[in-house]
Amino acid sequence: MSSDTPPVAKKVPAERTHHGDTVIDEYAWMTNKEDPDTVAYLEAENAYTEARTDHLSDLREQIFQEIKGRTLETDLSVPTRKGGWWYYSRTAEGKQYGIQCRLAVTGDTPPELKPGEALEGERVILDGNELAGDSPFFAVGTSAVSPDGAVLAYSTDFSGNERFTLRFKRLDSGEMLADEIPGIFYGGAWAADGSAFFYTTIDEAWRPYRVYRHIIGTPADDDVLVYEETDERFWVGIGLTRSERYLVLSAGSKITSEVRVLDADYPTGEFRVVRPRRTGVEYALDHSGDRFLILHNEGAQNFEIASAPVDDPAAWTPLVPHRDDTRLLDVDAFSDHTVVHFRRDGLTGIRVLPADGEPYEISFPEPIHSAEPAGNPEFHTTRLRLAYASMVTPPSVYDYDLTRHELILLKRRPVLGGYDPADYEQFRGWATADDGTRIPVSIVMKKGTERPAPTVLYGYGSYETSIDPSFSVARLSLLDRGFVFAIAHVRGGGEMGRQWYEQGKLGHKKNTFSDFVAAARHMRRSGWSSEIIARGGSAGGLLMGAAVNLAPEAFSGVVAEVPFVDALNTILDPSLPLTVIEWDEWGDPLHNADVYEYMKSYTPYENIDDRVYPPILALTSLNDTRVLYHEPAKWVARLRATAKGGPFLLKTEMGAGHGGRSGRYDAWREEALTLSWIIDRAATRKNEETGETQ
């Protein structure tokens, strides 16, 4: 078979029966990635995709150079103060990974740093390039400096399977300690005196379920199991409050929380429960002085904030009441003020509660934006560090002076090549769903773009995750070629509050898909769009598959990245990674016949038919532990065997995980492939409609 001929996957009928329904899955054999036939099939798909996109090689290289040319490759972050040090990270031209540094504090003002110029006294604490070596994949899972600034705990992954090895490094001498702990998950927390480090491990389903205490200088085999979560719906995590007074051990499912706390000065003590878990009640906390601040949804759909004495953390007293129009997202406690991060009318905002004054909200300059607290490790401070961006304004770092009530711009990510935000414009539109619900759509384009224009419509719509208006350097390669880019803020996300999420999950999941189709039709009817290329990843990949099943004619192409398209088979198998915890999001089709029938009616793999489908580009990774590679592989095989249209392309990264390739240059090249395919697809569709030839 030549590489320009689509692979034909063998069919090996595998029968399964649930709730009296017998289904034949002819591609179930692909789930075994140790099978040489599976690897051979994936490699054949890669060769076919390479052949079908070979004509894009010049455009791919051009877009890669555009991304590279707009990026200040040698750059650095804004220093953040913690104790006696300023911490920041650098990137260097030609290097794939960041370099973490610190500089001793000599005053209250952050040092003035220049890209490519190291200041006297700068100390490199972690160089990702040195650690990565020649490995094709590299990721850091944990990077935490002890409260006294003496020791760095960090963890690394060289395969993409999100199982990290934890190590410790003395920062004064650079000496590596003998302590080494394999198989840990993200995150971790230090005891107040730096004598112990707490970390989590995962089970065979990739669920973080155990918390261990490691005493520095002792063998890993002596580590003590502090907590084990036996309920398969719950994840665990461990952290330290900003005040560094309390260790916080959190256990949470999709809908329920339980938090334990321990005085960080006594790391060998026993954690105590704040409030026992109760189904449907979520809460989280921070600490300030003699009280905890608790963000919770008990009797408050959009959450409210309570305070509780540290010696009686279950006694919650209302502090910030619930509002129907405002979803409270987070609460941060400082010595003299409290900061609340919220969402209202589809946009994020920040409210400050001074200890001795009236609460107020911070104003931002653009009507469409995203803003959040970021990088505030100091408990005693008169400044609040914020991250800000819009669809035309690059990521920006501000300090908000709490005394003068003033925003101070510290850094805006440079965009080279003469980028001017004034050359672009952003809009908020509203589509109407099938049931009359108004769906917000964020839109960006270059001024003067002729409409209707080819459009990329992006969507996600699960887990209450909001796709906020944001900036993208790579996206400029589309906008400058006359594209419109739009985000459909469909139900299942959190853009319009908790009710927005609840209207797009469980037995209401189909709203997510019909909302997206409604947004596409709105973009055409309103004169924004000609050809529409849909794009989404992970659970947004399920959205891609379901939407194209629902209305294949609405799209000129689909990009599905690590797509969750075989959702029913995955959620039916509790032995697979992350399945049981997903039952609170999708329902439990294994034990509930109604859930089974509902999921079967919308999951992409089960609902492909013989209509004409648009071309599809599916991207996945062999070592992905969240959406397994075989989901898009099976999906593409069935599309090719059942549907008309296409072509249907599958590209599998054979050495990466859920996030794709790890190095920034590698990631840019992958994005260049996707964008060149989108540009080519829009041009091809336009020519097809006008009868022209390329």
Q: Is 130 exposed, middle or buried (0-12, 13-18, 19+ CB in 10 A)?
A: exposed
253 annotated active-site: no
Give the residue among 662, 345, 664 at the shortest CA–CA distance from 496.
345
624 annotated active-site: yes
Distance CA 460, CA 62 (A): 29
Query: Pseudo-torsion of CA 368, 372, 375, 379, nearest 10°?
Result: 140
Q: Which of 250, 462, 529, 538 is catalytic?
A: 538
Give bridge partners of residue 252 from the DSSP assignment.
235, 257
Cβ proximity of 528 and 484 under 8 Å: yes
Task: State whether the Cα torsion 533-507-462-433 is positive or negative.
Answer: positive
Give the residue among 353, 342, 361 at the shortest CA–CA distance from 407.
361
Q: Which two tokens stand for residue 441?
A: 């759509």
Cβ proximity of 135 and 142 under 8 Å: no
Q: Tell how strand 80-82 and strand 21-25 pair up.
A: unpaired
Q: Which two tokens stand for residue 500?
A: 């927005």
Amino acid symbol at 137? F
Give bridge partners of residue 559 from the DSSP assignment.
535, 617
CB neighbours of 103 closer than 8 A, spacing ≥ 6?
A: 79, 85, 86, 88, 111, 119, 121, 122, 123
Distance CA 648, CA 629 (A): 16
Cβ proximity of 399 and 408 under 8 Å: yes
Distance CA 199, CA 224 (A): 11
Q: Which of 253, 658, 662, 676 is catalytic?
A: 658
Instruction: Give Cα separations from 510 to 505, 536, 602, 679 (angstroms).
Output: 8, 16, 7, 30
Q: Which of 369, 515, 624, 676 is catalytic?
A: 624
Q: Is 691 exposed, middle or buried (0-12, 13-18, 19+ CB in 10 A)?
A: exposed
Cβ proximity of 536 and 604 under 8 Å: no
Distance CA 81, CA 171 (A): 16
Instruction: Give Cα separations from 302 to 298, 322, 496, 579 (angstroms).
Output: 10, 6, 10, 27
Output the CA angle 344-346-351, nearest 5 degrees: 35
CB neighbours of 411 closer than 8 A, spacing ≥ 6?
A: 77, 78, 396, 397
Q: Which two tokens stand for residue 512?
A: 């997510």
Secondary structure class of 64 (helix, strand, coil): helix
Q: Which two tokens stand for residue 368?
A: 């469409």
Instruction: Give Cα separations from 97 to 80, 91, 102, 103, 560 (angstroms).
Output: 20, 7, 17, 20, 26
DSSP state of 221: G
- Residues catalogued as catalytic: 538, 624, 658
